[in-house]
Amino acid sequence: MADRAIGSGAPDKPGVATASAYACEAMQAELSALRQALGRELCAIPPPVPACDVHFNRLLEDRARVVDELQTLARLRASQPGCEQVLAFCRASRVLDVSAKSRIATLLLDGAACRAQQV
């Protein structure tokens, strides 16, 4: 079941490509949710007040980092990566928290094809 691509409606096909695609979709969902949350928070900030611009600028920087990672993930997905590349991207993420990284790594490492590739 962990090898099934999210939303594909396709039957389970064990394999590195499917596990990698599933993990990429999970990362994209995490990053997209984070981008949306940052956008909502940015919209909720009142007009500039002295000493509050620091918070606004930090949110803009955070959003830019999330967008950069989404673009990098899109390029990675286009190259049809194996488990090792997806896992490396996940571990190197500057935006995903430890919990998200752990869930995504589990998706990859639970797949029999990925375990075989790691041996």
pTM, full prediction: 0.70
Q: How far apart are CA 5 and CA 82, in angstroms?
A: 14
Q: How far apart are CA 83 and CA 47, in angstroms?
A: 45
Q: How far apart are CA 20 and CA 70, in angstroms?
A: 16
- Non-local (6+) Cβ contacts of 14 within 8 A are 3, 111, 112, 113
Residue 14 is classified by DSSP as -
Q: Taking the chain (119 residues) in consecutive chunks of 10 residues, what is each chunk's mean pLDDT? A: 34 58 92 94 77 79 96 94 91 95 89 54
